[in-house]
Chain A
Amino acid sequence: MYRRTVLGFLVTGIVSICYLLIGNPSSEIIRIIRSPEFLLTFSAGSILAVSGVIFQNVLSNPLADPYILGISAGSGLGAVIGFYFGKDPHIFSLLTGIITVFLLLLMAKFLNSKLKLLLFGVGLNTLFSSLIVFLIAFGKIENFPSILFFLMGFIPIISLKKAVFFLFLSLILLFILLPFSKKVDALALGDSFAYFTGINPEKERIVLIFITSVFIAFTISQTGIIGFVGIVIPHIGRFLKILRTKKLLLFSFFAGGNALLIAKSILKFGFPTTDIPVGTVTALIGAPIFIGVLVRSKRFA
Chain B
Amino acid sequence: MLKAKNVSYKNILKNISFWANRGTVTGIIGENGSGKTTFLKALSGFLKFSGRISVNGKDIKKIPVNLRTSLINYLPQEFPQTELTPFDILNITGEFKKIHGREIKNIISSYNLTQIASQPFLSLSGGEKVRVFLAKIELINPLIVLLDEPSAFLDIKITNILKKFVERMKRLSKTVIIVSNDLNFTINISNHIVGIKNGSLISQSGTDIQQFLEKVYETKIKLTKIDKKYFIF
Contact = CB atoms under 8 A, between A and B. Distances in A.
A243 B88 contact: yes
User: Can you list the 7 inter-chain pairs with the closest CB atoms, starting with the nearest?
Assistant: A198-B66, A200-B65, A198-B69, A189-B80, A190-B80, A185-B92, A198-B96
B73 interface: yes
Interface of A: 60, 182, 185-186, 188-190, 192-193, 195-200, 238, 243-244, 299
A7 B170 CA distance: 52
Interface string B125-151: 000000000000000100000000000
Given A182-B92, A186-B92, A299-B122, A199 B66 contact: yes
Contacts of A185: 84, 88, 92
B63 to A, nearest CB: 11
Contact of B46 (A186, A189, A192, A244): A192
Contacts of B68: 198
A61 B76 CA distance: 20
A192 B88 CA distance: 17
Query: B-side binding surface: helix, strand, loop or mixed?
Result: helix
Interface string B73-88: 1101000101110001
A284 B47 CA distance: 45
Query: A-side binding surface: helix, strand, loop or mixed?
Result: loop
A189 B74 contact: no
Given A189-B84, A244-B88, 12 more contacts: A182-B92, A185-B92, A189-B82, A189-B89, A195-B44, A195-B65, A196-B44, A198-B65, A198-B69, A199-B66, A200-B65, A299-B83
A198 B44 CA distance: 12
Contacts of A192: 41, 46, 74, 76
Interface in B45-98: 46, 65-70, 73-74, 76, 80, 82-84, 88-89, 92-93, 95-97
Contacts of B92: 182, 185-186, 189, 197
21 contacts: A182-B92, A185-B84, A185-B92, A188-B82, A189-B82, A192-B41, A195-B69, A196-B73, A197-B92, A197-B96, A197-B97, A197-B140, A198-B65, A198-B67, A198-B68, A198-B96, A243-B83, A243-B88, A244-B84, A244-B88, A299-B122
Interface string B3-32: 000000000000000000000000000000
Given A185-B92, A189-B89, A197 B80 contact: no
Contacts of B41: 192
Given A238-B83, A243-B88, A299-B122, A197 B76 contact: no
Contacts of B122: 299
Contact of A195 (B46, B83, B97): B46
Instruction: Name the residue among B68, B73, B89, B92 with the largest chain A CB count within 10 angstroms.
Output: B92
B78 to A, nearest CB: 9
Interface string B94-128: 01110000000000000000000000001000000
Nearest to B45: A195
Contacts of B74: 192, 196
B69 A197 contact: yes
Contacts of B80: 60, 189-190, 193
Contacts of B65: 195, 198-200
Contacts of B89: 189
Contacts of A182: 92, 95-96
Contacts of A186: 92, 96
A299 B122 CA distance: 8
B187 to A, nearest CB: 27
Nearest to B95: A182
Instruction: Name the residue among A189, A196, A238 with the largest chain B CB count within 10 angstroms.
Output: A196
A243 B152 CA distance: 30
A64 to B, nearest CB: 15
Contacts of A188: 82
Contacts of A190: 80
Contacts of A198: 65-70, 96-97
A60 B82 CA distance: 10
Instruction: Name the residue among B69, B84, B96 with the largest chain A CB count within 10 angstroms.
Output: B96
Nearest to A244: B88
Contacts of B140: 196-197
B132 to A, nearest CB: 12
Contacts of B82: 188-189
B93 A197 contact: yes
A192 B69 CA distance: 11
A195 B47 CA distance: 10
